[in-house]
Structure 1
């Protein structure tokens, strides 16, 4: 338990350093790739979250998914990437090549839909090379470009996100 606390403290320091760096700019009119990071507690909302890609007419290959689990377990019906604390070193470096590759991809829109205090997911969010990072908690303001306060209602989150994207696309074309 103490070891996990030390590891999470290192994660928080790394998150603060990574949050200071802006990776790249993305225009909402050029969203061609989406990544979703969620935790196992919010797995039930995955199909709802995928609607963002459908609404933007993206292909299934343009959507990447990573899900955090406390322990390395198989999740029935899930075909995306799983990660856990064991995939991140004590110094907050990613030591899983698949997870590292995920963070290095150019992602236009990154959606983080997890519990508010999921430090491992926040670290992955900070590592990701994404143009627009969206989440739902004010506490993560330094990491995110957009915050959509939707509590646990994934449909409200998706509807609001699509609404913002559509309005911004219209304003960019004026």
Structure 2
């Protein structure tokens, strides 16, 4: 029990270190690659994610989805790339190759589409190499650059607001 507390504290320190060391480089380049981070207990609508990516005008090959999945015995995830909280080690290190691959990818946009403040999701979000990080209502304010005040069930509102802000920032390709 005490070790669990120390492990949690080391991961929170790691998140703060990532947030403080992050350098945000601004540019007017259109978004070409998108990462989506979800909690599969809250959200599992793969079709909605694909329609969002189409509206942002990003090729499906440049989309990576990572899902936190604390699997029960008979449940399966609709997402291919999953990880569990048990795979989070000390100081923000993951045991899962799936998470390591996701974190090694450079994204133009990272969508943190989860409401729970699970430590594993926050570590992935803080560590991810993305120019622009977008979250929803209960998201960690320090990790995200843009927070859209909606609930996860209001996904169409999230989509329209995200498109609106990306257009304002000239991040959607006109091609």
TM normalised by structure 2 equals 0.84
With 88-97 and 69-78 compared, the bigger mean Cα shift is at 69-78
Q: 1:73 to 1:21 in 2, by over 3 A?
A: farther
With 35-44 and 122-131 compared, the bigger mean Cα shift is at 35-44
Asked if the contact 2:115/2:151 (under 8 Å) is kept, the reply is: no
Asked if the contact 2:87/2:94 (under 8 Å) is kept, the reply is: yes
Gaps of 5+ in 1: none
1:47 is displaced (CA, Å) by: 2.8
Q: 1:64 to 1:167 in 2, by over 3 A?
A: same
SS in 1 for 2:78: coil
SS in 2 for 1:37: strand
Q: 1:66 to 1:73 in 2, by over 3 A?
A: farther
Greater percentage in helix: 1
What's the CA shift string for 1:21-42, capped at 9, x where partnerless? 2255354642000010000122
Please give the alpha-carbon distance, in whole angstroms, between the structure 1 residues aligned to 2:8 and 2:47.
30
Please give the alpha-carbon distance, in whole angstroms, between the structure 1 residues aligned to 2:126 and 2:70.
19
1:154 is displaced (CA, Å) by: 1.4
What's the CA shift string for 1:52-91, capped at 9, x where partnerless? 2110222211110000022477864624210112222133
Please give the alpha-carbon distance, in whole angstroms, between the structure 1 residues aligned to 2:74 and 2:2.
27
Gaps of 5+ in 2: none
Please give the alpha-carbon distance, in whole angstroms, between the structure 2 residues aligned to 1:106 and 1:92.
18
Please give the alpha-carbon distance, in whole angstroms, between the structure 2 residues aligned to 1:138 and 1:8.
20
What does residue 99 of structure 1 align with?
Answer: 99
Please give the alpha-carbon distance, in whole angstroms, between the structure 2 residues aligned to 1:123 and 1:74.
27
With 7-16 and 128-137 compared, the bigger mean Cα shift is at 7-16
The count of corresponding residues between Structure 1 and Structure 2 is: 171
TM normalised by structure 1 equals 0.84
What does residue 69 of structure 1 align with?
Answer: 69
What's the CA shift string for 1:113-148, capped at 9, x where partnerless? 112422210110011000100001365111011010
Alignment of 1:34-113 (within 5 A): 34-71=34-71, 76=76, 78-113=78-113
SS in 2 for 1:169: coil
